[in-house]
Structure 1
Amino acid sequence: MALKSQSDGQNKAISLEMQTKDCSSDKKGNGNSSDFNPNKKWLFPFMLVTSLFFFWGFVHNLDPILIPHLRKAFSLTDLESSLIDSSVFIAYFAMALPAGYVTRKYGYKFGILIGLILFGIGSILFVPAANSLQYIYFLGALFVIACGLTFLETAANPYVTVLGPPETATKRLNFAQSFNGLAAFIAPTVVGPMILSGKNLTESEMANMSTAALESYLASEAASVKMPYLILGLIIFVVAVVFYFTNMPDVKDENSEGAEGSSFGAALKSMKLRWGIVAQFFYIGAQVCVGSFFIKMATTTAGLEEGTAAKYLGFYGLAFMLGRFAGTFLMQYIQPRKLLILYTIINIILTVLAITGTGMMVVYTLIAIAFFMSIMFPTIFSMGIDGLGNNTKIGSSLIVMSIVGGALLPPVLGVISDATGSIQMGYSVPLACFAVILLFAFNGHKANKA
């Protein structure tokens, strides 16, 4: 269903041609990207790729559970616990260009398979990390997982945008990202209780424990992550096998073979892409800051128990999911850029309330922020790569690199929180991020410069 209102220049979006020689024989192996017929044989691969949004959303939304859990197990400061996010999102910066190169050279399917293998290996590495009782090994396992997620996101995001009419690319990507929101609800509500023990010992209590009792306590805390991540790793390997035996549409850039002007320099001539890189950097920083320290905010400002706070984190994820579906629906009637402006202004107001509020109002405000953040990533992404043509994969890699904002900005929040003794003051970081996103929404739609 076509959007009734398009973002400026949306009708000039990704001009790519579907070449389904691997999975269509009745039409000489060729299809058209504008013919989004559900009866096509590539519908199942489309659904399979969409499932990836759920899996990487699932593991990302376990990080807000890991942060308070490992903070407790290893007696970490807010700054030290923020390194969990840094180890994840620094991988996006390090691996985005290699992932983009592999995707361009060998295709979407190969990039997805590499991503799934790394994802599965990193998940299983949680078992030896827990056995070692060393914080650095957890960070290493998370880094490997994130390397896999980089391949998945570099391939899956642009892949979804080209599987259908270019004028509905933003809507289609928002729909796929909605399953990311579903994972944001399931991860903390289902897996959270498996990881969080509810045992909160003070520093004095731990100091009075015998060495054997303390080692037993720390071992039990660390061991609680082994089973959830082991199961996740095995599931990911099964998904990789399904992908391997599935014929995937061979989606190529129009005139990609021998095309001139396909380079990083040519891609960066796009004002939309440059704005998209900056905006995505600050959006991911805001999302990670708000979500990762949700439990700390809930226990500090509202006095909630850790387990209860985790349940509210599930509602946070549910709000994110509902926001994605609602945003996808509203984009039939409102230009994506205008909706982004509206949602960003609302989030600026809500973040101010989260900083100045008290009690459960802060918790409900954070949940509302999740709802209005929901459309930002896919909308910024599709606006950023709009009009890139055969530079789309390069642009996708550069925007994925900007996810490093999730590695660099949470430690800033941690420094502010540790220095002021107030986690709420740390939320001035996402407030500043939303201000930058608002600038992008007003300026990032401008036509590309030659």
Structure 2
Amino acid sequence: MTQQKQINYLSPFITLVILFFFVGFLTTANGQFQGPLKAVFLSNAGDLKNTFATLISFAWFMAYPLTGGIGSAWVTKYGYKRTLIQALFILIIGLGIFWLSSVYTVKFPDSHFLIASAVIPWGYVIFLLGSYVVGAAATILQVVINPYLTACDVKNTQPVQRLNIGGSANSVGTTLAPFFVTGIVFGGLSMEEVEISQIQISFLVLMAVFAFVTLILTRMKLPDIEGTKAEAGEKLEKSVWSFSHLTLGVIAIFFYVGVEVCVGANINLYAIELEKLGHKFFFLGMDALTIGGIDFAIPALMATLYWGGMLVGRLISSSLNRISPRTQLAFAAVFAGLSTLMAIAFDNPWFLVIVGFFHSVMWGSIFTLSVNKLGKYTSVASGVFMIGVIGGLLLPLFQGMFADAMGGVWRWTWIIVIIGEIYILYYALLGSHVKQSAE
């Protein structure tokens, strides 16, 4: 502890907060490609269109349970800084695969295969591979970022505050991403006007940006933090699963990430469905909002406001020094569940936009409660924690399948979100209490 107090962690803290921004940006941008790519890649997918659209998020979040353990093993073997650099290289490769999917589809427009009556282009499969690789990079980045922000000793801050500051940067990324996809990548065009060639330049630019970020990181000091990881070759005496508050926390993060992605990635599909039925969701019956000369469709606006609500909530929660993460989590779960119930009752996606505000505190609160008093098990716990993120893979997929089974109707699929909020409330009130400590 003495050595840790002598190190100034402000610069590493700022660096990881910036990286957290990119994690949020890429996660949401990936989900926002569902609608456009559904129109471009899946126009001939028939009744399986919604199911295949949600596979984009499925591929991304499949990486979390498969690579979380790799990330924690790298932290033990190579340390925090080298692990971050390796993750960024993987990220650049994944973005290159995204670019390749566009190039392949443009050059071979008739290259496809059949699943039942659905016609699926091979370019879509390449895009799914890219989604997995970028998701793997995001996983390893978070295996480093979460415990580092929790443990680094920055003056006048507490662990949950530092996570919420990082979460605020993450939310800035998630808020900007829908506008980036709709306004920059696709130029504000309607779904019917989108062309796959439009994504090529955007991914090349992103690759260049992350190459620059990687170069900067190689020249920065990012000291390891003692007491948060096992030394190379050290064998831990206990299984990390023996800590019940961590095990139940992994389940809590499963439901949290699942319901967060359900709303963030599928609210636009829900709104598009209702628009086709003649619903007018914006003031004065407008179908789009013009910002800076670009028309943004209301579905994209709803997604942006949802993620923007998370940003506002995290900015507020980062100043709540005297309210415990357990209390914040319980309050958020109750009101997120009630807002979702209102969306179902009134068949109106605007109530789902509100849910983002209450989801804002959940990641930081659940992670802080899950790694409480874990000591040298913390970095391993961070890798295990990523297994729970598989909820972002499964729940949106189930929701898409549910919507297809209901004839393309999304209204009743939001029951999945309510179930998730109920478990999160249980974890806040009961499951998060520490029964066994490693300290």
TM-score of the two chains, using structure 1 as the length reference: 0.83
Say if 2:100 is the partner of 1:115. no
Q: Give % identity.
A: 25
Matched, 1:393 2:379: yes
Paired amino acid for 1:345: V
Match of 1:198 among 189, 198, 201: 189
Structure 1 CA distance for aligned equivalents of residues 50 and 344 of structure 2:
17
* Residue identity in the other structure for 1:112: L
Once residues 425 and 261 of structure 2 are traced to their aligned partners in structure 1, the CA distance between those partners, rounded to angstroms, is 18
Contact 1:288–1:406 (CA under 8 A) maintained in structure 2: yes
1:427 equivalenced with 2:427 (yes/no): no
- Which of residues 409, 424, 434 is equivalent to 1:437? 424
* Aligned: 1:295 with 2:295: no
Match among 183, 190, 209 for residue 173 of structure 2: 183
Of 301, 310, 324, 1:335 maps to: 324
Query: Within the alignment, does 1:169 sit opposite 2:133 as a pair?
Result: no
State the 1:190 CA deviation. 3.4
Q: What residue in structure 2 maps to residue 406 of structure 1? A: 392
Measure the CA separation in 2 of the matches of 1:200 and 1:313: 16
Q: Distance in 2 between matches of 1:440 and 1:255?
A: 25
Deviation at residue 132 of structure 1 after TM alignment:
1.6
- Residue 427 and residue 394 in structure 1: after superposition, are their counterparts in 2 closer, same or farther (change >3 A)? same
- Tell me the equivalent position of 1:363: 349
When residues 106 and 255 of structure 1 are mapped into structure 2, their CA distance, relative to the original with a 3 A threshold, is: closer
Contact 1:126–1:230 (Cα < 8 Å) also in 2: no
Letter in 2 for 1:369: V
Q: From 40, 54, 58, give the equivalent of 2:21.
A: 54
Q: How far, CA to CA, are the matches of 2:234 and 2:208 in structure 1? A: 43
- 1:41 is displaced (CA, Å) by 4.4
User: Does the residue aligned with 1:250 lie in a helix, a strand or coil?
Assistant: coil
What is the deviation of 1:68? 0.4
In structure 2, do the counterparts of structure 1 residues 275 and 234 end up closer, same or farther at CA, with 3 Å as the change threshold?
Answer: same
SS in 1 for 2:226: strand
Conserved? CA contact 1:272–1:444, under 8 Å: yes
Which deviates more, 439-448 or 91-100? Answer: 439-448
Is residue 2:287 matched to residue 1:310? Answer: no
Q: Superposition pairs for residues 121-270 of structure 1, below 5 Å? A: 121-133=93-105, 134-164=123-153, 168-196=158-186, 198-201=189-192, 221-253=195-227, 256-257=230-231, 262=236, 265-270=238-243
2:30 aligns with one of 46, 54, 63 = 63
Residue 79 of structure 1 aligns with which residue? Answer: 51
Q: Is the 8 A contact 2:228 2:379 kept in 1?
A: no
Deviations 1:151-187 (A, max 9, x none): 1000111011111279821121111111011111111
Deviations 1:320-368 (A, max 9, x none): 10111112223x132110111011000110111112224xxx3331221
The residue identity in structure 2 corresponding to 1:98 is: I
Partner of residue 364, structure 2: 378
How many residue pairs were aligned? 395
| Corresponding residue number in structure 1 for 2:120 | none
TM-score, normalised by the number of residues in structure 2: 0.85
Q: Is the 8 A contact 2:328 2:365 kept in 1?
A: no
What is the CA–CA distance in structure 1 between the aligned matches of 2:226 and 2:322, rounded to whole Å?
A: 31
Q: Which runs of no fewer than 5 residues in structure 1 stay unpaired?
A: 1-16, 19-29, 202-216
Q: Of 280, 285, 299, which aligns to 2:258? A: 285
Cα deviation for residue 313 of structure 1 reads: 2.1
Distance 1:70 1:112 in 2: 30
Q: CA deviation at 1:430?
A: 1.3
Cα gap change, 1:245 to 1:222, in 2 (>3 Å): same
CA distance 1:259–1:199, shift in 2 (3 Å) = closer
In 2, Cα distance between equivalents of 1:224 and 1:100: 37
Moved over 6 A (4+): 258-261
RMSD: 2.2
